[in-house]
């Protein structure tokens, strides 16, 4: 928006300059008018993300998880507060696992005043994702752009229901991508933002300036010490949340592949330590004695180079490829062992947490 306005102003100044060059006699009268008009345009410039919020906010819902009272099984008490995002006309809602964990009943409140009991389709504790579904006509759906890539410095807005105050929007930028939060098992890359995410915001939408879903708000950074922190919050990338949703809709849960290896990324430092001239790949440091990799003949110090002819750059790429595979799938893993490239066939098993 800003670039469009500045382009318009610049075009106006250039056009005026051309007129003055062609007709010098007009200079005394036109110059003051042109300057005054352009200054007026700058003074009236107002940056607002109102349109983005208006596009996205109707699809961000309040979620109240309820649990039966221990003393009276007929009485439901609110035990959790959060937010969610309607991502499908069929009524599918993405929220956080921790928002609905252990809930006996889940109530969803839309911004147009409607409310309904939601069905829990499934959840995944590892990624902190839960999928709900509500019935209803003309449900608002948040704008989605699968081609959007989160970049550091992008302006984002977090929408949710902090402390049950009502729907609230906070503003910030993407501070980092590919972050690993202390709140997970280290397998999940988060978007880090300085947009405020407080209790009740969890499960809400992180959007860009077009109102498109960027991620699902999940947590604020809480260090193990008493040190206070500000402006460090995390969101689950939409692409990951959507992938988890599709798995849950298909199977009722997330089925992940597993081959049973762990290792270290090969960079210039680790390459020198292990005597490898190549940069990229993963050196195997641990093998599950009862896992598929052991059965396939893996050895410690093997260097994983490819999986099904896909080049491996780091351990995260191994996890990304393997976890998406169905158990029973046979894969070709290209490795480097003592200077010789060989291929091992591995039968993927299901990961059991």
Measured at the CA of 342, the angle between CA 341 and CA 346, to 5 degrees, comes to 140
Cα torsion 27, 28, 33, 36 to 10°: value is 110
- How far apart CA 312 and CA 282 sit, in angstroms, is 7
Residue 105 shares a structural domain with residue 189: no
Last residue of a domain, one of 78, 99, 133: 133
Asked if residue 146 is part of any domain, the answer here is no
Residues 16 and 72 in one domain: no
Q: What is the pTM of this model?
A: 0.78
Taking the C-alpha atoms of residue 44 and residue 141, their distance in angstroms, rounded to an integer, is 33
Whole-Å CA distances, 260 to 125, 289, 323, 346: 20, 8, 11, 10
Q: Looking at the structure, do residues 81 and 105 belong to the same domain, yes or no?
A: yes
Is residue 249 in a domain?
Answer: no
Please indicate, yes or no, whether residues 344 and 266 belong to a single structural domain of this protein.
Answer: yes
Contact in structure between 333 and 344 (CB atoms under 8 Å): yes
- Last residue within a domain, chosen from 214, 240, 266: 240
Are residues 192 and 233 both part of a single domain? yes
Question: How many distinct structural domains can be found in the chain?
Answer: 4
Q: Using the 8-state DSSP alphabet, how is residue 239 labeled?
A: H
Residue with tokens 């970049």: 151
For residues 21 and 59, state if they share a domain.
Answer: no
pLDDT of residue 183: 45
* C-alpha torsion sign, points 324, 326, 327, 329: negative
| Residue keyed to tokens 């069905």 | 119
Query: Domain limits at 76?
Result: 54-133
What is the spatial distance between Cα 129 and Cα 246, in angstroms, rounded to a whole number? 12
Same domain, 275 and 195: no
Instruction: Say what the pLDDT of residue 18 is.
Output: 54
pLDDT score, position 231: 75
Q: What does 4-67 look like in DSSP terms, one character per residue? A: HHHHHHHHHHHHHHHHHHH-GGGHHHHHHHHHHHHHHHHHT-----HHHHHHHGGGEEEEEEEE
Phi-psi region of 334 (alpha: psi -120 to 50; beta: other; left: phi over 0): beta
**Residue 350: its pLDDT value, please?**
93
Please check whether residue 246 lies inside any domain of the structure: no
What span, in angstroms and rounded, lies between the C-alpha atoms of 261 and 216?
30
CB atoms within 10 A of CB 133: 16
Q: From CA 70, how far away is CA 75, in angstroms rounded?
A: 9
**Is residue 141 one of the residues assigned to a domain?**
no
- Within a domain: 248: no
User: Which three-class secondary structure state does DSSP give residue 159?
Assistant: strand
> Any idea which residues carry the catalytic annotation?
98, 128, 202
Looking at the fold, whether 234 and 164 belong to one and the same domain comes out as: yes
Q: Label residue 155 exposed, middle or buried (CB < 10 Å: 0-12, 13-18, 19+).
A: middle
Q: Tell me what pLDDT residue 275 has.
A: 58
21 in any annotated domain = yes
- Segments of the chain scoring below 50 in pLDDT: 2, 4, 182-186
Task: Report pLDDT digits (tens) over 103-118.
Answer: 889 999 999 999 999 9
CATH number of the domain enclosing 228: 2.40.10.10
Residue-level pLDDT at 216 = 96
Residue 163 sits in the same domain as residue 127? no
115 and 177 share one domain: no
Give the pLDDT of residue 22. Answer: 56
Q: pLDDT (tens digit, 9 = 90+) per residue, 87-105?
A: 999 999 999 999 999 888 9
Three-class SS of 248-266: HHHHCCCCCEECCEEEEEC
Is residue 209 assigned to a domain?
A: yes
Classify residue 148: in a domain, yes or no.
no
Are 171 and 204 found together in one domain? yes
329 and 283 in a common domain:
yes
Could you tell me which residues are beta bridge partners of residue 205?
Answer: 159, 216
CB 311 within 8 A of CB 333: no
Q: In this structure, what CATH number is given to the domain that contains residue 285? A: 2.30.42.10
């Amino acid at each position: 928006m800003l670039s469009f306005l500045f382009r318009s102003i610049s075009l106006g100044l250039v056009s005026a300059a051309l007129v003055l060059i062609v007709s010098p006699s007009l200079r005394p009268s036109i110059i003051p008018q042109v300057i005054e008009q352009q200054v007026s345009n700058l003074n009236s410039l107002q940056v607002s993300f109102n349109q983005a919020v208006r596009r996205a906010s109707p699809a961000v819902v309040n979620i109240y998880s309820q649990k039966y009272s221990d003393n009276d099984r007929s009485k439901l008490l609110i035990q959790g507060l959060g937010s969610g995002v309607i991502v499908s006309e069929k009524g599918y809602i993405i929220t956080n696992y921790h928002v609905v964990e252990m809930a006996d009943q889940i109530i969803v409140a839309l911004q147009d005043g409607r409310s309904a009991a939601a069905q829990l389709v499934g959840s995944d504790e590892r990624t902190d994702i839960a999928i709900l579904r509500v019935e209803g006509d003309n449900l608002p759906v948040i704008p989605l752009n699968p081609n959007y890539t989160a970049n550091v410095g992008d302006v984002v807005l977090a929408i949710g229901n902090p402390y049950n105050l009502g729907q609230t929007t906070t503003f910030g930028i993407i501070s980092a991508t590919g972050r690993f939060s202390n709140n997970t098992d280290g397998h999940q890359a988060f978007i880090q933002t300085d947009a405020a995410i407080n209790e009740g915001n969890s499960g809400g939408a992180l959007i860009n300036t077009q109102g498109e879903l960027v991620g699902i708000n999940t947590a604020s950074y809480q260090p193990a010490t008493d040190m206070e922190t500000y402006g460090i919050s995390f969101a689950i990338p939409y692409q990951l949340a959507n992938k988890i949703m599709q798995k849950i809709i298909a199977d009722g849960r997330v089925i992940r592949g597993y081959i049973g290896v762990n290792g270290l990324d090969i960079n210039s430092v680790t390459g020198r330590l292990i005597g490898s001239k190549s940069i990229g790949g993963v050196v195997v440091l641990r093998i599950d004695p009862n896992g598929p990799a052991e059965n396939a003949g893996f050895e410690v110090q093997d260097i994983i180079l490819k999986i099904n002819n896909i080049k491996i750059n780091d351990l995260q790429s191994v996890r990304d490829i393997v976890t998406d595979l169905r158990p029973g799938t046979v894969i070709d893993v290209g490795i480097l062992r003592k200077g010789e490239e060989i291929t091992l066939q591995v039968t993927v098993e299901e990961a059991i947490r």
